[in-house]
Amino acid sequence: MTDSTSQATESTNQATSSMNHATESTNQATSSMNHATESTNRATSSTGQATDNTDRAMINTTRTMISFEEAQRTILERAVKGTATADLPIAEATGYVLAERIESGIDMPPFDKSAMDGFAFRHDEHTSVNAFRIVATIAAGDRPGAQIGRGECARIMTGAPVPAEADTVIPVEDTSLLDSREGIPDSGDPVAGGNGERVRFHSIPSKGAHIALHGEDIRAGNTALDKGHLIQHLEVAVLAAVGRRTVKVYAGPSIAFAATGEELVEPGSELGPGQIYNSNASALRSQILAAKATPHSLGVVQDKADDLRHKIAEGLRYDMLLLSGGVSMGKYDLVPDVLRKLGVEIIFHKLLVKPAKPTLFGVKGKTMVFGLPGNPVSTVYAFDQYVAPAIRVFRRHPKPQAIHYCGKLTEAVNKKTGRLLLLPCVCEWVDGQCMLTPLANHGSADIFSIAGANAIGIIPSEMKGVEKGTVVNFRKLYEY
């Protein structure tokens, strides 16, 4: 049954594109992807072993399968780049990509600034002056303009303007105060002490030390951040430092999503015979939000061509449409056919990957479509591995591809050749090494055993068993 309450379009605070913007022409270029034509060789292990039943079924029913790497490449080539922008308060722009060049309107620092708590003085006097007379105390925030004469210095705080006559700051810890009686060390705090005292310098710093010169970081008119720069926390500080309160960023996509299946019931309702809770829709919603996109639930869709057609047609009005379930080989797995009939170009449908083999990627106009296998592990992983990079492309992320790390397996892993294995793992730093502990589960439906995974080990298709201690590539989970 369709959940009418979840059909309402959600409004969130996120910067989301209006639906279906113009696509960049470069992006429309057809990928040069060659679908690897499936042959019996491919699904047979290199050691000549027979493949399992699943693989036999696969060979008989489909001719086009692509590798994990090719799927990744294809998504990066064919994903649609968003064009809509949004103005966000700078602290809410973290993770977005700049849609404008940020020019500094000011010199930074705007004045010669002390980088230490200490004393500002003229460097060439240190050989002739035994003890400098303190004639001013300058705090951060004081107006520039304090003056010192010969043999004099100014007590100065970090961030305070350096007197024009001074060229060096000596840190307070390299000095000692003398009281009014010559040569007797003052017991007071050199920073808090009053003016009119004298101070002796010990290790003299080099000329110019501990002064940040006017404009040495950036000059007015120069670029602080380029268009296309990914905003992280440091960039938020840069934006604030040049006086910005809001910033123009590329908006995230509006993503329609639906779970297909007659057996699905929303959490909170009673389960009837043969029914299970719809866990994919909630997982997808949380992943969509984490990926800085806006979710629009289409509810649960029945495994009937009419219902699917209706909901998919609605979903094709968004920047992206995600469907869970109904993409495998069963009699009621109608999604690929309905997509095709609605004019979606299916770019790939089957992957030489375990889990989430029947993942589908298609495009219609400016809408990207993903069909994610319904098993809950597959849905979450397929979002992570295939949908998330497409969202990053949409959001103009400068490095949309996932980052690979290396880790050492703490246990042996069994696997057949022919399909790359995505292995749920816990990655942790132990004795100076990144260790990957695989989490055993009984299949793609078993989300319970792998809760807590933070990494996906990538075991190449040609590898058979992998021994304990082998260093393998992995990706962090949920790096959106």
- Encode 153-190 in three state secondary structure: EEEECCCCECCCCCCEEEEHHHEEEECCCCCCECCCCC
Please say which residue, 328 or 441, places its beta carbon nearer to ligand AMP. 328
- Expressed in angstroms, the distance from the first to the final Cα of the chain is 32
Q: Which of residues 113-172 bind Mg ion (CB under 5 A)?
A: none
Footprint of ligand AMP on 417-456 (CB under 6 A): 445
Residue 2 makes contact with ligand AMP by CB under 6 A: no
Token pair for residue 475?
A: 């990706």
279 contact, one of Mg ion, ligand AMP, none, CB 5-8 Å limit per kind: ligand AMP
Of these, 6, 324, 359, 417, which contacts ligand AMP (CB under 6 A)?
Answer: 324
Rounded to the nearest whole angstrom, what is the least distance from the CB of residue 252 to ligand AMP in the complex? 23
Among 184, 240, 276, 430, binds ligand AMP (CB under 6 A): 276
Separation CA 95–CA 395 (nearest Å): 10
Residue (261 or 299) nearer to Mg ion, CB: 261
85 interacts with ligand AMP by CB under 6 A: no
When asked if residue 374 is in the footprint of ligand AMP (CB under 6 A), the reply is yes
Q: How many residues does the chain have?
A: 480
In the complex with ligand AMP, the residue whose CB is nearer, 74 or 375, is 375
Question: Under the criterion CB under 6 A, does residue 288 sit at the interface with ligand AMP?
Answer: no
Residue labelled with tokens 């290199």 = 46
Report how far Cα 194 is from the mean position of its chain's Cα atoms: 51
Contact 35, 102 (CB under 8 A): no
Least distance from ligand AMP to the Cβ atom of residue 303, Å = 8
Looking at beta carbons only, is 261 or 418 nearer to Mg ion? 261
Pairing of strands 198-201, 175-178: antiparallel
Instruction: Check if the beta carbon of residue 103 is closer than 8 Å to that of residue 221.
Output: yes
- Contact 420/381 with Cβ under 8 angstroms? no
Distance in Å, CB of 271 to ligand AMP, minimum: 12
**What is the distance of C-alpha 30 from the center of its chain?**
27
- DSSP β-ladder status, 345-348 and 360-364: antiparallel
List the strands of the sheet with 175-178, edge to edge.
Answer: 168-171, 118-121, 152-156, 132-138, 198-201, 175-178
Residue 22, contacted partner among Mg ion, ligand AMP, none, CB below 5-8 A by kind: none
Q: How far is the CB of 264 from ligand AMP (least distance, A)?
A: 5
325 binds Mg ion (CB under 5 A): yes
Give the count of residues interacting with ligand AMP (CB under 6 A): 20
**SS3 call for 347:** strand
Indicate which of Mg ion, ligand AMP, none lies near residue 264 (CB less than 5 to 8 Å, by partner kind).
ligand AMP
Per-position b or e across 308-336, b if 16+ CB within 10 A of its CB: bbebbeebbebbbbbbbbbbbeeeebbbb
In the complex, what is the shortest distance from the CB of residue 279 to Mg ion, in angstroms, rounded to a whole number?
13
- Residue from 14, 302, 375, 461 binding ligand AMP (CB under 6 A): 375
Among 148, 236, 259, 316, binds ligand AMP (CB under 6 A): 259
Say which entry of ligand AMP, Mg ion, none residue 263 contacts (CB below 5 to 8 A, set by partner kind): ligand AMP
- Identify the helix (H) or strand (E) that includes residue 28: helix 25-28
Residues 78-117 close enough to bind Mg ion by CB under 5 A: none
Q: How far is the CB of 327 from ligand AMP (least distance, A)?
A: 6
Residue 324 interacts with which of ligand AMP, Mg ion, none, CB < 5 to 8 Å by class: ligand AMP
- Contact pick of 190, 252, 373, 407 for ligand AMP (by CB under 6 A): 373
Give me the residue label for tokens 């309402």. Answer: 8
**CB distance 472 to 466 below 8 Å:** yes
CA dihedral 75, 80, 84, 90 (to 10 degrees): 10
Judged by CB under 5 A, the residue of 109, 252, 253, 261 near Mg ion is 261
Helix then strand then coil, in percent of the chain rounded to 5, is 20, 30, 50
Q: How many residues bind Mg ion (CB under 5 A)?
A: 4
Of positions 82, 252, 261, 457, contacts ligand AMP by CB under 6 A: 261
373 binds, among Mg ion, ligand AMP, none (CB under 5 to 8 A by kind): ligand AMP
Q: Is the Cβ–Cβ distance between 411 and 437 less than 8 Å?
A: yes
Query: Measured from the CB of residue 391, what is the shortest distance to ligand AMP in angstroms?
Result: 20
CB of 120 closer than 8 Å to CB of 166: yes
Alpha helix ranges (H) inside 350-471: 376-382, 388-394
Per-residue binding string, ligand AMP, 330-369, x by CB under 6 A, is x--x------------------------------------
- Our CB check for ligand AMP shows the closer of 226 and 337 to be 337
Q: Quote the tokens at residue 218.
A: 């950036």
Shortest distance in whole angstroms from residue 258 CB to ligand AMP: 9
* Interface contacts to ligand AMP, rule CB under 6 A: 259, 261, 263-264, 276, 278-281, 324-326, 328, 330, 333, 373-376, 445
* Interface contacts to Mg ion, rule CB under 5 A: 261, 325-326, 374
